Structure 1
Amino acid sequence: MTDSPACISILQLSDLHILAEPQDKMLGINTEHYFQACLEQAVRLRSRQPVRPGSRQVVRQSSRQAFDEQQHFDLILLTGDLAQDPCPASYRRILSSLEAYETSCVCLPGNHDDYELMQQVFNTDRINCRKQVLLDNWQVISLNSQIPGKPGGRLSNEELGFLENCLTEKPDHHALIAVHHHCLETNSPWMDTMIIENRQALLAIAGKYPQVKAITTGHIHQVMDIKTASFRVFGVPSTCFQFVPESTEFGVNDTAPGYRLIELYADGRVESEVVRLPEPLAELQINTHGY
């Protein structure tokens, strides 16, 4: 991706599904191992090599260059479902993994998370659950779409009001909105039952403010990059297992875990790409019974 002094670089990781113990497995895979592998690869592959604008799906071999020879990310964004069965231990291990890198990190909740517990654990100066981050002439606005106890998403009036206040109070800042649940259909009927219920309210606010340049989401465990009239909507792979695209029923496949790189430019331009680990999930236990 293009290197520029005016460029803000963000690493988005999502749907980690970390379990209670480091050795625990879900659907046959160690989710923690793959989260750490994605994080390490992303940091090591941070380079100055340009790519064409737009989003694409790529696989790169792991770089052997030392981290301090690479550029740093300006922000790591974890967009929900950090834990599968939330407990202090799972969140603390995520925190420990992130603390190995001198990069600010924002964590927002997904339907599997315990948001109150997240706020207790992720409460350092660099790693926390901040809802608004200012980076040069950009703001990153994180929204909570969680409906406690339910898999689907909804934005409360407080969340929508917070979003509008951020946009009103910072009219000279371009905006990237981050939220766990998706706001555009995926063409997977079972997945789209969990779409943000009041997504039209979110899209209406985003469309009303021209400084909104992109919305990035988690939850769908697959790639999305859709251009609306005024902004782009991203979806990101999971750092563990992936859902079968355009499927009528729940299904997973062995596509490699991945993450999204986002670059924000002073003129409001957004460039993004998806990067995956080099190998598929050989140990994945494919089933149709959920997770």
Structure 2
Amino acid sequence: MNGVNQTVVNLVPDPKGDIKLLQITDTHLFADAGKDLLGIKTVASYDAIIKHAAKYAGQCAAVLCTGDLSQDHSAQSYVDFSDRIKTLEMPCYWLPGNHDMQEIMLPSLLAEGLAQTKQIISEHWQIILLDSQVSGVPYGHLSESQLSFLEKKLQEYPEKHTLIAVHHHVLPVGAAWLDQHILKNNDQFIALISKFDNVKAVLSGHVHQSFDTVKNKVRYITSPSTCVQFKPQSDDFAVDDKPPGYRYLVLTKSGKIETQVERLKPGEFTTDENATGY
């Protein structure tokens, strides 16, 4: 696993020059494995996702975990997250979501050997991991220091294709109740990255659904949660009956991204259809 305090790491591409990745997001773990979120026991569904994703072990260079790792802010939930992700036997790079408590998250994950990496460098790509958390609220915002960091890293490697990972979604997904919890200064973010033609995609979690669109030649991708799914195109809170999932990505040498969503079998985990919020 990645060592402590490695804010910048290097990844070696495969023989074709590509980087293969997994995205695992919004695990919402509890210290108590018997607790559920809207009817789904999140530790059990995370376990099932890890077992499903094991087929990619040996193929992928790393796994990106894009926030909301814990639901109850417990140190144990982060230890459990770490224990399971390590079984994939690939480096794990993570960032915080709105449900994470960083004063517990950071020392807990560091103690498990999962450093807070902020930049990943490869031969043809760089990946920049941002912190969009605003303490105590569900929406996101990138601070001036985060935006300055992003601009500096984009200037540092203008020749490399760039993937930006951030918890909150940048573009509306068409669900009114979710879109009020978007990255609030998305216009500022988009204006910044528009100055660089090497930004290929922005990868997010947060919305518990798959979304994939292009704006100004940049691809914006979100992915399903390992537990509860939210219903697309719903103005009011609504859960979806799709199974828990994760995402597989190939960052090709040419700068294109090939990706697919992987899901568990239908019926293995069922959300409470009468849930009105969480």
- What's the TM-score, normalizing by structure 2? 0.91
* Segments of 4+ moved more than 3 angstroms: 280-283
Q: Distance in 1 between matches of 2:120 and 2:201?
A: 15
Q: Please list, as runs of the form range in 1=range in 2, the aligned pairs for 1:39-188 lying within 5 A after superposition.
A: 39-44=50-55, 46=56, 71-123=58-110, 127-188=114-175
Residues 32-56 of structure 1, C-alpha deviation per residue, up to 9 Å, x if partnerless?
Answer: 1111211221221x3xxxxxxxxxx
How far did 1:233 drift?
Answer: 0.4
SS in 1 for 2:225: coil
C-alpha distance in structure 1 between counterparts of 2:175 and 2:41, whole Å: 26
The separation in 2 between residues aligned to 1:196 and 1:250, in whole angstroms, is 19
- Match among 30, 34, 47 for residue 36 of structure 1: 47
1:73 positional shift: 1.3
Distance in 1, Cα, partners of 2:88 & 2:39:
29
* 1:126–1:137 distance in 2 versus 1, CA, 3 Å: farther
SS in 1 for 2:30: coil
Instruction: Report deviation, 1:22.
Output: 1.6
Q: Secondary structure at the match of 1:272?
A: strand
- How far, CA to CA, are the matches of 2:229 and 2:268 in structure 1? 10
Change beyond 3 A, Cα 1:124–1:271: farther
For residues 36 and 231 of structure 1, what CA distance do their matches in structure 2 show? 33
- Aligned partners of 2:53 and 2:92: how far apart in 1? 14
Which has the higher mean CA deviation after the structures are superposed, 143-152 or 226-235?
226-235
8 Å CA contact 2:49, 2:246 repeated in 1 = yes
Identity of aligned residues (%): 38
Whether the 8 Å contact between 2:177 and 2:236 is mirrored in structure 1 is yes
- The CA distance in 1 between the partners of 2:61 and 2:118, in whole Å, is 16
What does residue 23 of structure 2 align with? Answer: 12
Give yes or no for contact 1:207–1:230 (8 Å, CA) kept in 2. Answer: no
How much has 1:288 moved relative to structure 2?
Answer: 4.1
Say whether residues 1:290 and 2:277 are aligned partners.
yes
TM-score, normalised by the number of residues in structure 1: 0.87
Count of aligned residue pairs for this structure pair: 265
Distance (Å, rounded) in 2 between the aligned partners of 1:209 and 1:13: 27
Whole-angstrom distance in 2 between the partners of 1:170 and 1:124: 31
1-structure distance, mates of 2:198, 2:277: 39
Kept after mapping to 2: 8 A contact 1:14/1:78? yes
Q: Is the CA contact (8 Å cut-off) linking 2:96 and 2:167 kept in structure 1?
A: yes
2:252 aligned with 1:265, yes or no?
yes
Unmatched 5+ residue regions in structure 1?
47-66
User: Where do 5+ consecutive residues of structure 2 fail to align?
Assistant: 1-13
The one-letter amino acid of 1:24's match is K
Relative distance call for 1:217 and 1:160 in structure 2 (3 A) is same
2:267 corresponds, among 280, 283, 288, to 280
Aligned with 1:236 (options 223, 238, 242): 223
> What SS is found at the alignment partner of 2:189?
helix
CA contact (8 A) 2:16 2:253 kept: no
Instruction: Specify the alignment match of 1:26 in structure 2.
Output: 37
**Distance in 2 (alpha carbons) for counterparts of 1:273 and 1:150:** 31
Give the superposition deviation at 1:28. Answer: 1.8
